[in-house]
């Protein structure tokens, strides 16, 4: 049933709005964890291991794994799902892969709604694995309670990565593949940069190695400690409130953009200027709503 509901939302079929309206009162209970990082950092293997740890803890877990969509075929390999197939027989685990379908923020367009459906279905923890991101793909902060940034030795210049927001939105830093050389240097650089940036005191750095099953307990404990801190300080409500505000603005923009398309066409054809077209579009929209928003 959950799979069918997600397909309905992904394809934006008739009934999507009614479905999301019906499930909304049953959301807000799950712990939502975002796993992001550059390609090759080992995010999928880390997520698979985290699923195992969460299940050992007795918590049901859902995963939304976002894979890049081909600009040529429109399809996605969904390789993240392949790496997590060890959990297919576990009734307490639900894994769904989702193609980006042209979305550039590291998540798919329907990711927020997919997570909301998983939340309403009663899962204790929801893991979101983004596509391999660079410096500017920050959509994960619009959905997750805790953002985990996965780094790895020899993964590139950390200062280059730190120049943009991807480092600033992270709550936890995971140095994965810690069995490789260069971990000490990476950790030292990361600690120095966090100190220079005056980052929040709470931020943690955890070293992990999936083949050696090293650091997974520490990562799970750090994730739970961050969630506890958010709840105790009231920061969780503030974070989710900002996320809802951003989503309402985005939905409003999407709806208005469709209504304004004819006026944009007029501007492109030099039949109107942008200021006049914008005013005309807003006036027409207000009139269609009876003069009320």
CATH of the domain at 10: 3.40.50.300
Q: Are residues 65 and 206 in the same domain?
A: yes
Give buried/exposed letters for 116-142 (b at 16+ CB in 10 A, else e).
Answer: bbbbbbebbbbbbbbbbbeeebbbbbb
Q: How many domains does the chain have?
A: 2
Q: Are residues 7 and 39 in the same domain?
A: yes
pTM of the model: 0.83
Question: How many Cα atoms are found within 13 Å in the side-chain-facing hemisphere of 241?
Answer: 6
pLDDT given at position 115: 95
- Closest alpha carbon to 107 in 77, 67, 73: 67
Q: Are residues 126 and 260 in the same domain?
A: no
Whether 105 is in a domain gets the answer: yes
Bridge partner residues of 147 (DSSP)? 34
Please give the mean pLDDT across all residues of the chain: 83
Q: Are residues 195 and 228 in the same domain?
A: yes
Interatomic CA distance for residues 189 and 155, integer angstroms: 13
Whether 111 is in a domain gets the answer: yes
Q: Are residues 228 and 273 in the same domain?
A: no
Q: Are residues 76 and 171 in the same domain?
A: yes
Displacement of CA 71 from its chain's centroid (Å): 21
Whether 293 is in a domain gets the answer: no
How many residues appear in the chain?
A: 293
pLDDT tens column, 142-192: 899 999 999 998 766 565 555 556 777 889 999 999 999 989 988 988 888
Q: Are residues 248 and 229 in the same domain?
A: no
Domain of residue 266, residue span: 244-288
pLDDT given at position 72: 42
Q: Are residues 29 and 102 in the same domain?
A: yes
Q: Are residues 7 and 140 in the same domain?
A: yes
Q: Are residues 171 and 201 in the same domain?
A: yes
Say if residue 221's pLDDT is above 90: yes
Whether 253 is in a domain gets the answer: yes
Q: Are residues 199 and 165 in the same domain?
A: yes
Q: Yes or no: say if 166 and 36 are a contact pair by the CB < 8 Å rule.
A: yes
Q: Are residues 186 and 258 in the same domain?
A: no
Name the domain boundary from 212, 233, 254: 233
Neighbours of 196 (CB within 10 A): 9
């Amino acid at each position: 049933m959950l799979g069918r509901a997600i397909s309905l939302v992904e394809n934006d079929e008739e009934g999507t709005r009614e479905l999301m309206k019906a499930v909304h009162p049953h959301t807000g209970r799950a712990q939502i964890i975002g796993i992001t990082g550059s390609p090759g950092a080992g995010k999928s293997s880390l997520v698979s291991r985290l699923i195992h740890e969460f299940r050992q803890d007795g918590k049901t877990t859902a995963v939304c794994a976002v894979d890049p969509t081909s600009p040529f075929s429109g399809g996605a390999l969904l390789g993240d799902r392949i790496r997590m197939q060890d959990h297919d027989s576990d009734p307490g685990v639900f894994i769904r892969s989702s193609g980006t379908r042209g979305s550039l923020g590291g998540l798919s367009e329907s990711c927020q709604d997919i997570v909301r459906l998983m939340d309403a279905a009663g899962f204790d923890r929801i893991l979101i694995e983004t596509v391999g991101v660079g410096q500017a793909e920050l959509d994960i902060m619009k959905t997750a309670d805790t953002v985990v940034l996965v780094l790895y030795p020899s993964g590139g210049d950390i200062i280059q990565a730190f120049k943009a927001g991807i480092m600033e939105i992270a709550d936890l830093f995971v140095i994965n593949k810690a069995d490789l050389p260069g971990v000490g240097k990476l950790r030292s650089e990361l600690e120095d940069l966090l100190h220079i940036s005056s980052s929040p005191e709470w931020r943690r750095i955890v070293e992990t190695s999936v083949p050696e099953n090293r650091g997974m307990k520490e990562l799970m404990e750090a994730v739970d400690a961050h969630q506890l801190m958010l709840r105790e300080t009231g920061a969780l409500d503030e974070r989710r409130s900002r996320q809802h505000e951003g989503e309402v603005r985005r939905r409003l923009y999407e709806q208005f953009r469709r209504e304004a398309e004819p006026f944009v066409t007029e501007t492109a054809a030099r039949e109107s200027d942008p200021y006049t077209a914008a005013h005309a579009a807003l006036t027409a929209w207000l009139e269609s709503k009876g003069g009320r928003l």
